[in-house]
Each structure stands twice: as structure tokens, then as C-alpha cells.
Amino acid sequence: MNAESLRRDFPALEPAPGRSAPVYLDSACMSLVPRTVLDAMEEYYTQYPGCAGRSLHRFAEEVGRRFEESRHAFARFLGRADPRGVVFVRNSTEALNLVGQGLAWKRGDRVLISDREHNSNLVLWQRLAAERGIRIEILELPDNGTWDGDALETALGRGVRLVSLFHTSNLDGRTLPVREVAERAHDRGARVLIDGCQAAPHRAVDTDRLGVDFYAVSAHKILGPTGTGVLAGAPDAMAELRPLLLGGETVEWSTLEAHELRPPPHRFEAGLQNYAGVLGARAGIEYLQRVGFETVDAQQLRVNRRVTEGLRDLDRVHVLGADDPRERSSIFAFTVDGVDPNDVAVFLDEGHGVMVRSGMHCVHSFYARRGLAGNARASFYFYNDDADADALVAGVRELVARVPFSGTSAGRAASPTRPASGPRRGAGSTGAAARSARPRRRAARGRGASATGSG
């Protein structure tokens, strides 16, 4: 399979009349959805729009069967041998909260996180620290993308009940050695919770082999619809959790005085479920499995290398994370000296049809500690191709050529490793320079042809 043939499966990549095909480089935020996912969701609403586990008619029986088949499909996809450890949630944020809020914390219990976690894996613990008296330990990660196992061992030595880390970072694309983390943590008696949002779409994940207790993913990053996700947990670990919500399918029986909850996973799935979303999410992972992770890795690395080489000679462009694209194959996060990251994103979209994300990427703590204004982030997937890479390169090169930079600190957007004088938030570089220097025309491009531009 090649990117060009795969692109035809994604309606969002079809060019609108009179316009070029979109250049979508924001898959770390949300992947695009293939037609098979849309078909699966429509099929539910048109052929068996019932409530699973309630009625006995054929609609309800059919959706109930397919819902549980989806649970088994996700168990296989995430390497969880026992499907009873797969809970459907809205997203990984809910999955992380299910673990964090569900554990019976005692005052003084410690949770270990890294210094660059997504807000979903930070503010949860800050609230629990305030409300239940837990303590947060911070694992400092080197800026160059290397791993320090001794630092982890030192942190674990302070007595940690739960280790909660990302698998792959949405910030700089680095991947942590999760199996080593789990082994060291378990040796110290700690549970392990992993945010797998940025890993599961790009590589095969075997949670049983990794040895983690909990693994959280969002389906909207794995070709699925929004509002669907999974918490995959080991059965013994799941049994320790208190449900976030009660009612509906969580109850085995109830009287006016008492009730009994169903066993996991059903005790964690309160109320009517997002059946169309779950069935669509299953179609998404099955499509991804047909594409194959070798194809995913090869294509996104090809695009990342092309972008990295195409911008390497620009002194004003600074890349966050490792120099080698192999260490961040799905992520190219960067700043342009003298231009606010939000203005970079607007310039690329309005001038070259290139969609990237800008800002602090829900990792505000990382930027705040360094006094950074954020950065722009291009994120790649298997449906991106050389033309996408060339459009990004052309847009950045034109921006650098059209927006002057004096080389002084005034009005300067900080590089990922060079702080500005203090934290800045929101959009707007000095005089909104990038927005006042519009490209001469939106770049026209065809599939397989390089983007045009003056830079």
C-alpha cells in the first residue's frame, strides 16, 4: 500500500471544487477517518439501532453482540489477553480519571509523573493532592530525548504507589521504554498507568508483554470517531478501582436499600453507551491493522525526513526534541525566531493550505517552566506524502523570507531550548508580523508535485 492509494479512503482529503487537496498535518491531535468507519457508524443507525443489554428484540441483540465483539477486537489490538479488562470510555482523559479517581488513596501516597505530561495526566493528580493529600513526584526527562533509568530508580526509591507516564510524547515524539518502567515499578510494589494516545496509532502495543497495569487510548487518534476511547487494564488491577459513575449497566441488582455492581468491565460503563462510536472505533483499528504498522512507520518517517532535511539550513527554525527523525517519526515540532507560533500556523494554513497545530499542546507546564511561548507542531500519519512535506517546507521557507528578524530578543518567539524573558500565552507576535505578511497567493499544488511559494 502507498500513501496515494490510501488517501482515497479518506473523504476529508478529497479536494473541494476549485481547490487543492488539503494538507492535514495535525494527526497527533486527531486522525482523519476512513470511509469504513463512517459506514460502520451509519450501519448501526440504519440496520440495528437498539440498546445493548436491555431489550430482547433483534436490534438489541445485534448491537449487543457487535459491542462485545468490539471489546474483544480492542483486547487483541492492545495485547490484553482478557477482554474483561477492556472498558469503553469517551477518551483517554476519562480513562486516566477512572484510574486516578477510582483508586483508594491514603494521605501521603505518591504518584510519579514526568515533567512533560499532557494536562490530562497532570491536573488530575494536582486535584487529588489538594483533596486527598497524595504527593506528586516529578521525573525529569532530558531535553535531548535520552532516557535515564537511574533517575527513575531514584524516584521510585522515595516510595511510589502509582507511576503514570506517557508512552509516546505529543510534545516532541519521544517514546519511553515502558517495559523497563513497568518492571522497575513492580519491583518496588507500584502500579503502572500509561497514556498510550500517541503510541497506539503508530506501533503495535502489547500491554501484557509490556507488563503495565492500565493503558489508556483515545479512538479519535486511531482513525476512529470522537467521543470514544478505551482503558485496558489487568483484571486484578481493575478490581481495585471504584467506578466513577453508577447506574444503568453497572448494576447487577438493586433494592430500595442496597445494590450489587456487576463485575468489570461492565461496572465501569454506566448508562447507554456510544454504540455507533464504539463500532466505528473498531472499524478504525481493523483498517489500521490492514494497513500495517510497517507501512505506518515507513511513510511517516519518510515525510518527517523530507521536512527535516528541507528546513535544516534555516538558522531561524528550531526543532524540539531529537535531531534524528527516527526518534520522533510522527512529530515535527518547531519554532521560527521572531514569529509567534500561532502566527506560523495561520500563515501556513491561509497561504499554503497546510494545517498544523500551534500553542502549548496541552503541556502548559513544560513551556511555563522554560518561559516559552509554545511552538508549531506538524504531525504525520501514513496518509501524508511527499507533496504534504513539500508544502510545509515551502510555507516555512516563505515565512522566513517574508518576515524579517533583527536577531534581538524584543518581539522574539523563543526556540524550544532557548527561553524568552518570561512566559507568554495566546496568539500574536510583534505587530502580528506573520499575519501582515500574507503570501502572494495560496500555493496551488497537485498530488505528486511540489508546493510552490516564494520562499
Separation of alpha carbons 314 and 348, rounded Å: 17
Whether residue 34 has a cis bond before it, omega within 30° of 0:
no
Q: In degrees rounded to 5, what are phi and psi of residue 106?
A: -115, 150
Separation of alpha carbons 165 and 194, rounded Å: 5
The owner of cell 504518584 is: 111
* Residue 11 DSSP label: G
Separation of alpha carbons 16 and 401, rounded Å: 30
29 is annotated as an active-site residue: no
Q: Report strand pairing: 331-336 vs 317-319.
A: antiparallel
- Which residue, among 1, 150, 25, has the nearest Cα to 12 in the 3D structure? 25
Residue type for 264, please?
Answer: P
Catalytic residue selected from 29, 51, 197, 362? 362
Separation of alpha carbons 82 and 237, rounded Å: 12
Please tell me the number of Cα atoms within 13 Å of 155 on its side-chain side: 26
Distances (CA, A) of 277 to 52, 134, 324: 14, 35, 37
Q: In degrees rounded to 5, what are phi and psi of residue 335?
A: -125, 160
- Which residue, among 103, 227, 108, 225, has the nearest Cα to 164 in the 3D structure? 103
Cell of 143: 531535553
Cell of 313: 539550513
The owner of cell 518567539 is: 413
Cβ-based burial of 240 (10 A; exposed 0-12, middle 13-18, buried ≥19): middle
Cell of 117: 505530561
Distances (CA, A) of 354 to 379, 387, 451: 11, 11, 10
* Residue 241 DSSP label: P
Catalytic residues: 362
